[in-house]
């Protein structure tokens, strides 16, 4: 028969209708969160003041500025992956409007989530091009917002590298979802198309082969390790958050590669369950995160399934105990 909640709700609604008939209050409606994004793009006009001038509102047609249009589309792609794959309504799960400023500062070589909105630089043209070019970079930055509203991983050391890795994982999934790619078809690169032509490299990072994304006179060599044997102990980069993220990144790649198909359906679901499940602590170490992915694989896909086996094996391959 119908669930107890359904019966209670029916009884509540009958009572409510009776009362509203008498007092004329508006009809009871369940709280509704929109299945559409609410995007606004601003032009910072090469200054540091945010957000800048409003240049594109939700539902409006593309304009002449390709950077504005890419930012708008990238915010939309991110909203769609979170909604369609994980039933999450925007960054906060409650339909948070998505705001982004483009053309931030002069020759600004980065993009970031400032706790409230997205900010994109144009790049200096020597090392980096426009940061709105790779959709996975847009997804990476917005995912810092999702992490902020969920596990809130401390941006230092291993918890910081997990924070970075989660942004890479979901950034990559956003790209794969947009392109309809399977794990086998995906390039597993973060920031392909972002490096200036003179730079010797293909992207910012590679989840499939950490440490191989670039090797360049100006940029140096991609410093990412793929396993704990090469874990980098450093005080710079908040204790190597963009360096050691290679290890959990590679573990995710290995899980997705072992399972095949669309990576957001199984590997992504397991990672999302851990990120949002309430058990991941702010200061989690790699092993804490890994152990939770094993539990999540069991809970969602069953004990003795290929998912559990793939997750356990992947962490073993990168040298993280579960
Ligand atoms: N683009 C960098 C990142 O998202 C900026 C930062 O927040 N450290 O990791
Ligand atoms: Zn990041």
Q: What is the pLDDT of residues 99-125, one digit of tens each?
A: 999 999 999 999 999 999 999 999 999
* CB-facing half-sphere around the CA of 127: CA atoms within 13 A: 14
Is residue 219 situated within a structural domain? yes
Give the structural domain span for 276: 157-317
Active-site hit among 242, 250, 262, 307 = 242
CATH (domain of 123): 3.10.170.10
Q: Does 161 lie in the same domain as 96? A: no
- C-alpha 109 chain-centroid distance: 20
The pLDDT mean for the chain works out to 94
Is residue 6 situated within a structural domain? no
Cα(184)–Cα(14) distance, integer angstroms? 53
What 3-state DSSP class applies to 11?
Answer: helix
pLDDT band at 1 (very low <50, low <70, confident <90, very high): very low
Q: What is the pTM of this model?
A: 0.91
Q: What is the ipTM of this complex?
A: 0.94
Rounded average pLDDT over 157-165: 99
R_g of the chain computed on alpha carbons: 22
Percent of the chain with pLDDT over 90: 90
141 lines ligand 1 (CB under 6 A): yes
Q: Does 299 lie in the same domain as 262? A: yes
Q: Does 116 lie in the same domain as 71? A: yes
Ligand index nearest the alpha carbon of residue 163: 2
User: What are the tokens at 87?
Assistant: 């039933």
Q: Does 64 lie in the same domain as 192? A: no
Whether residue 20 is predicted with pLDDT greater than 70 in this model: the reply is no
Q: Residues 105, 50: contact at Cβ < 8 Å?
A: no
The last residue of one of the domains, among 120, 149, 178, is 149
Report residue 119: phi and psi, to 5°: -135, 130
Rounded average pLDDT over 142-160: 98
Task: Return the residue matching tokens 């100006």.
Answer: 218
Is residue 44 situated within a structural domain? yes
Q: For atom 6 of ligand 1, which residue has the closest CA? A: 112
Whether residue 257 is predicted with pLDDT greater than 90 in this model: the reply is yes
The last residue of one of the domains, among 149, 174, 191, is 149
Q: Does 191 lie in the same domain as 244? A: yes
Rounded average pLDDT over 1-29: 57
112 lines ligand 1 (CB under 6 A): yes
Whether residue 28 is predicted with pLDDT greater than 90 in this model: the reply is no
Is residue 245 situated within a structural domain? yes
Whether residue 129 is predicted with pLDDT greater than 60 in this model: the reply is yes
**Count of structural domains within the chain:** 2
Q: For atom 8 of ligand 1, which residue has the closest CA? A: 112
């Amino acid at each position: 028969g119908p669930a107890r909640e359904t019966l209670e709700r029916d009884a509540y609604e009958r009572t409510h209708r009776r009362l509203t008939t008498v007092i004329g209050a508006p009809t009871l409606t369940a709280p509704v969160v929109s299945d559409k994004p609410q995007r606004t793009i601003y032009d910072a006009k090469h200054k540091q003041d945010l957000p800048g001038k409003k240049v594109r509102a939700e539902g409006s047609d593309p304009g002449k500025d390709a950077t504005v249009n890419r930012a708008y589309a990238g915010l939309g792609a991110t909203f769609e992956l979170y909604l369609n794959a994980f039933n999450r309504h925007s960054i906060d799960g409650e339909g948070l409007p998505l705001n982004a400023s483009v053309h931030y500062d002069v020759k600004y070589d980065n993009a970031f989530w400032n706790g409230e909105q997205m900010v994109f630089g144009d790049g200096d043209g020597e090392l980096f091009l426009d940061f709105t070019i790779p959709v996975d970079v847009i997804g990476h930055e917005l995912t810092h917002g999702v992490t902020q509203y969920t596990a809130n991983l401390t941006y230092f050391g291993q918890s910081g590298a997990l924070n970075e890795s989660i942004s890479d994982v979901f950034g990559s999934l956003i790209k794969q979802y947009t392109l309809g790619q399977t794990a086998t078809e995906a390039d597993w690169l973060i920031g392909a198309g972002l490096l200036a032509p003179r730079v010797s490299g293909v992207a910012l990072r590679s989840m499939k082969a950490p440490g191989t994304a670039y090797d360049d006179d100006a940029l140096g060599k991609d410093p990412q390790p793929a396993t704990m044997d090469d874990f980098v102990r450093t005080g710079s980069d908040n204790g190597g958050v963009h360096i050691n993220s290679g290890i959990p990144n590679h573990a995710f790649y290995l899980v997705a590669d072992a399972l095949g198909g669309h990576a957001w359906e199984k590997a992504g679901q397991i990672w999302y369950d851990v990120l949002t499940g309430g058990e991941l602590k702010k200061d989690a170490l790699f092993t804490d995160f890994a152990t939770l992915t094993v539990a999540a694989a069991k809970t969602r896909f069953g004990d003795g399934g290929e998912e559990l086996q793939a997750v356990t094996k992947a962490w073993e391959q990168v040298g993280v105990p579960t």
